[in-house]
Structure 1
Amino acid sequence: MIRVAKQPEPTSPGFDFDGQVRQPGLSALAELTGNPPTLKRRGPRIKQRAARVEDLSSSDLRDYDYWTRAMEVLHKAYGGVCAYACFYIEPLCGPTVDHFVAIISTKPQDAYEWDNYRLACSLMNSRKQAFPDVLDPFRIENGWFVLNLGTFKVEPAPGLPTDTTERIKATIIRLGLDSREYRNMCRRFFDGYWNPPDSKPPIPLWSLERDAPFLARELRRQNRLRPEDVEPKDKEPQLAG
């Protein structure tokens, strides 16, 4: 994982997050608790399911998943890169809206808040679920997670405070960043860059930085770039939209 720079809430004319996600969500919450809708819309009234917003379940909210309307703009804002796995997610291959504070453990209103969203591939989202032991990509520091280029395992950086190291380990275990499939994906990108088959040209560094920014950062940090990619004052890539 690398630190993800939080992107601003999208507004018109590109995408009206407030009008397309937040306000319809808040209106649905009002109706779900027996109150008048706060927005005019077509169709029958939403049936009341609880007396208070706090008593609504996650399944109640998932019936009104207006956050999915923000999927395309979320993908664009964060460069298509999974906040947890740090690989580019093709739009056809399962990008999802992860509620960092899960909708079953937060105020229902936060289900419709941009700042609570992280772009995640479906596998990382399913592994994270509502578990509170995963570090927030918005709050970690670059350099906390390192990649062993011999084993392709993600590890805590040496020399960190004990509590930070333990939280990094918990995040790695929870997300499966030490799993065989994750290591194989890292190895495939590494081999494409360093050992392309049959005299094929290597993956360009710019492509690696776009599609596997954590691996690219670790190659740079560990002085493992191809000679033609080494520049004076080489700068670390940033994960942003």
Structure 2
Amino acid sequence: MIHVEKQPEPSPPGFDFDQEVRQPGLSALAELTGQPPTLRRRGPRIQQRAQRLEDLGPAVLRQYDYWTRALDVLHDAYQGICAYSCFYIAPICGPTVDHFAAMVSADPRQAYEWDNYRLASSLMNARKRDFQDVLDPFEVEDGWFELNLGTFEVRPAQGLDEPLSERVRNTIDRLGLNSRECRNMRIRFFNSYWLPKEPSKPVPLWHLREHAPFLEREMRRQGRIRPEDQEAQP
């Protein structure tokens, strides 16, 4: 993992997050708890499902998944990079909205808040689920995670204090960052750079930076890039 810089909430004229996601979500929550809707909309009233917000479970909230309306702008805001695996997610290959504070444990209103969203592949989102032992990509600092370029396995960086090193290990284990799928992706990108199918057309380093930024950063840090790329900066 690498540090992910939090991007500002989308606003008009591009995409009105407040009107498209937050306000419909809050209105649904009001009706689900027996309160009048806060927005006028077509269709029947939403039936009350609980007395209190905290009694609304994820299964109920997923019936009012207005956050999916923001998926395209979330993908654009974070250049399509999964916050956890650090690989580019093609739009047709399952980008998802991860609620970092999971719906099962957070105030239900957080389901409709931009700052609670992380762009994640479907695989990473499924592995993270509602567990609380995964580091927040917004809080991760560059250099906490290192890559062994012999095995292509992720490990905690040397020199971290033990509590932080344990949190890094827990994140690696929970997300399966050393699973066959993740390691094979790193190997594939590494080989595309060093062993291109057409030697006269090597894959440029910027391609790795845009599709596998953690791998590219570790290759650069460890001096495993071509001489002509040594001076180029990200």
Q: Deviations over 1:66-106 (max 9, x none)?
A: 00000000000000000000000000000000000100100
Q: Which position in structure 1 is the counterpart of 2:122?
A: 122
Equivalent residues, number: 234
Partner Cα separation in structure 1 for residue 230 and residue 201 of structure 2: 17
Aligned-partner SS, 1:197: coil
Q: Deviations over 1:18-74 (max 9, x none)?
A: 000000000000000111100000000000000111111111100000000000000
Q: TM-score, normalised by structure 2?
A: 0.98
Counterparts of residues 228-239 of structure 1 (less than 5 Å): 228-231=228-231, 235=233, 237=234
Q: Which position in structure 1 is the counterpart of 2:60?
A: 60
In the alignment, structure 2 segments of 5+ residues that lack a partner are none
Taking a change above 3 Å as real, the CA distance of residues 185 and 129 of structure 1, as seen in their structure-2 partners, is same
Q: Which position in structure 2 is the counterpart of 1:19?
A: 19
Query: Which letter does structure 2 place at the counterpart of 1:2?
Result: I
Q: Which position in structure 2 is the counterpart of 1:37?
A: 37
Q: Which is bigger in relative contact order (C-alpha 8 A, separation at least 6)?
A: 1
Q: Deviations over 1:99-142 (max 9, x none)?
A: 00100100000000000000000000000000000000000110
Counterparts of residues 169-188 of structure 1 (less than 5 Å): 169-188=169-188
Partner Cα separation in structure 2 for residue 72 and residue 3 of structure 1: 21
Q: Which position in structure 2 is the counterpart of 1:217?
A: 217
Partner Cα separation in structure 2 for residue 25 and residue 151 of structure 1: 45
Partner Cα separation in structure 2 for residue 198 and residue 19 of structure 1: 50
State the shift of 1:200 in Å. Answer: 5.1
Does residue 105 (structure 1) correspond to residue 105 (structure 2)? The answer is yes
Query: Which letter does structure 1 place at the counterpart of 2:15?
Result: F
Partner Cα separation in structure 2 for residue 101 and residue 201 of structure 1: 44
State the shift of 1:197 in Å. Answer: 2.5
Name the Cα RMSD after superposition. 0.9
Does residue 206 (structure 1) correspond to residue 219 (structure 2)? The answer is no
Q: Which position in structure 2 is the counterpart of 1:88?
A: 88
Query: Which letter does structure 2 place at the counterpart of 1:36?
Result: P
Q: TM-score, normalised by structure 1?
A: 0.95
In the alignment, structure 1 segments of 5+ residues that lack a partner are none
**How many percent identity over aligned positions?**
68
Partner Cα separation in structure 2 for residue 199 and residue 214 of structure 1: 24
Aligned-partner SS, 2:39: coil
Q: Which position in structure 2 is the counterpart of 1:49?
A: 49
Partner Cα separation in structure 2 for residue 214 and residue 65 of structure 1: 31
Partner Cα separation in structure 1 for residue 208 and residue 146 of structure 2: 17
